[in-house]
A = this chain, B = another copy of it.
Amino acid sequence: MRDFTQDHQWLSINTATVKKQWPLDRIIDECAQRGIRAISPWRDQVAAVGLDKIAQQLRHTGIELSGYCRGGFYPAADAAGRQAALLDNYRAIDEAKTLNAPCLVLVVGALPGALAGKPEYTDISRARNEVFDGIASSLEYARTAGMPLAIEPLHPMQAAERACVNTLEHALDICDALDPSRTGALGVAVDAYHVWWDPKLESQIARAGKSRLLAWHVCDWLTPTRDLLNDRGMMGDGVIELQKIRGQMEAAGYAGFAEVEIFSELDWWQRPGEVVLDTCISRHKSVI
């Protein structure tokens, strides 16, 4: 297992972590000043500054991406909606390519309309079929572009609104069906926050193997958790056994970044961005 205690060379910052403090160009500069080698930006943050400007800044600072957030949200109540979702995924793939991302992370979507509080249907099997078809279509485009797709299973508490793929096993079943020869074009993003509870986590990480393990996200599960979306904890402040899970990831062949992704309305989004980044660096050494 890699030694994370001496430096933070494997730290990546998912830029949602400080999105309330700074625009993306400032985030990149702050990361560069601290010797943070990688980030994972969100599409809206990129668009707010400008895709080409961000691509140029990344080249200039030498900061690489550990992933690009995000594609997905495939299900829709009608064919026009599903087609619009596909086209948007193609654009996300192009943007990821421009930014030289190693993968596009897919938050696959769930019951259409549920995120706005009005589900247009409640048939989760149908949503799962639409997700499968959407990934299949995106994958054709992504193969041509040379951009790997990383399915991110979300915590089951997000099953209605954000992703109806909620276990690593389910995500890998989709990978096996659509990319049986493990070309590297399709894999998973393993976010500890979403999967730490799963009794099959270790066996499914081993099943995924190096060719499917495209990203590794970290934060912590707080007790109590006060909000279903925006109450993630800093590594070390909760109950997730991050070192144990990293050991399982590395045993399976993963050798990439540990990407910190913290949505924290009540805590870390309220603190100065400098404090957040410095804490990520110190916890990378002491906790991850």
Q: How far is the CA of A111 from the CA of B240 in the complex (A)?
A: 11
A226 contact set on B, CB distance < 8 A: 228
A157 contact set on B, CB distance < 8 A: 155-157, 225, 228
The answer to whether B156 touches A197, judged by C-beta atoms less than 8 angstroms apart, is: yes
Given A155-B156, A167-B199, check contact A119 B239 (CB 8 Å).
Answer: yes
What is the chain B residue whose CB lies nearest that of A225?
A: B228
Contact with B along A218-252 (1 / 0, CB 8 A): 00010111101000000000111100000000000
Let me know if A180 is at the binding interface, CB within 8 A. Answer: no
Q: Nearest Cβ in chain B — how far from A13, in angstroms?
A: 24
The answer to whether A239 touches B114, judged by C-beta atoms less than 8 angstroms apart, is: yes
Let me know if A198 is at the binding interface, CB within 8 A. Answer: yes
Q: Name the interface residues of A90-146: CB closer than 8 Å to any CB of B.
A: 111, 114-115, 117, 119, 122-124, 128
Let me know if A159 is at the binding interface, CB within 8 A. Answer: yes
A29 contact set on B, CB distance < 8 A: none
Q: How far is the CA of A123 from the CA of B241 in the complex (A)?
A: 7
The contact sample of 23 A-B pairs, CB cut-off 8 A, is A111-B223, A111-B239, A114-B239, A115-B223, A122-B240, A122-B241, A124-B197, A124-B241, A128-B199, A155-B156, A156-B157, A156-B197, A157-B157, A157-B225, A159-B196, A160-B221, A160-B238, A160-B239, A161-B223, A166-B198, A166-B199, A226-B228, A228-B228
Pick the 10 closest A-B CB pairs, nearest first.
A159-B197, A156-B197, A157-B157, A114-B223, A122-B239, A156-B156, A160-B239, A170-B199, A160-B223, A119-B239
